[in-house]
Amino acid sequence: MSLQRRSSRNACVIRVYGSTACRKAARSKSAFLDRGKPSGYTAAVGSDGAVGTTTMRDRRHGEAIRYIDLFCGIGGFRLAAEQVFSKYKLPATCVFSSDIDPRAREAYKANFGDEPAGDITQIHEDEIPDHDILFAGFPCQPFSIIGNGKGFNDIRGTLFFDIARILAAKQPDGFILENVKQLIGHDKGKTLEKILRVLREELGYAVHYRTLNALDYGLPQKRERVIIVGFRGPAAFEFPPKQKSFAPLSKILERNVAEKYYASEYIRNKRRAKHTPSARPSIWHENKAGHISSYSFSCALRAGASYNYLLVNGERRLTPREMLRLQGFPDTFKIVGSESQARRQAGNAVPVNVVRAVFESFLPALLNGRRTRK
């Protein structure tokens, strides 16, 4: 079996070739889709040997699932999606990506082969290719300043409006959105209420949401995020169950770390006087008042965190590679730009393990739901 990846601007296609690979892929896909109910999806193999997706948009057998990646950052959503598509031998195409940060776009291009478009607010929805799935990790913004209008007038001027206008124009079969946990109580719950109302009543999606913690999906980082998923019609979707444990910090921390990451001996002694190191690797958190707590995991990475925020046994700050590992990025992921840029990008990224777990539950529900609506 050979796995080929073809890249072009805003396109990445994964296909599996060879008759043996196709038979294995069909069995793998069948088992994968059996996870979702109702059943009824039949895997198909195209004439070129690629595993087909017969349920999406009624296209011909063998065509790839198309998705877009909005507010993509360095590509956490895309990485998770590619891992799932590759695991189950599903052909998939990223047909569009976008981010306002030019440095993040450079990192995305270095790792995925195509450069995202820029500011989504400046891109008309007609310029965006048709797609089956929309991914977006959008910023949390106050909606109360807009007033008490209804529908799209109630969200105009926010970045969620750009998601909504694209959903309205392109009508993909499903979407996954990610936001900070504060979205739940933001503006006394009015922000989330308006988002859900637009998605359900204005756009007609069946919507599910939940706050998930990266700690529950294998990462030693307490990072809680609101995940919102939607389907264009009924779908038997359930959020993924929690895992029993997370990876130890020893698998995250690098060896032979450069001296520049270490605090001075004076600072280290001062910290040790306040807090006793544990026998195992731990992350120390020092607040503005100087109080130190230590854990076997990291608190949520933040793009603008000070050097004192994340400390390894009180001695040094985390390296960019360690920060990426805490977010679920493999060591093959290329770090692009300055160290401060890399730290910011890691802090802004979505936790890959969380998105991957959600997508593994989302995809069979989407495919089977589409099949039963024919």
Question: Side chain identity at 78, as an amino acid letter?
Answer: R
Report, in angstroms and rounded to the nearest whole number, the Rg of the chain calculated over CA atoms. 22
140 catalytic? Reply is: yes
Catalytic residue among 12, 22, 72, 140: 140
Kindly report whether the peptide bond that precedes residue 38 is cis, defined as omega within 30 degrees of 0: yes
Compute the distance between CA of residue 227 and CA of residue 366 in angstroms, rounded to an integer. Answer: 16
**By the 8 A CB rule, do 287 and 244 touch?**
no
Question: Which of 175, 224, 185 shows the shortest CA–CA distance to 351?
Answer: 224
Active site residues: 140
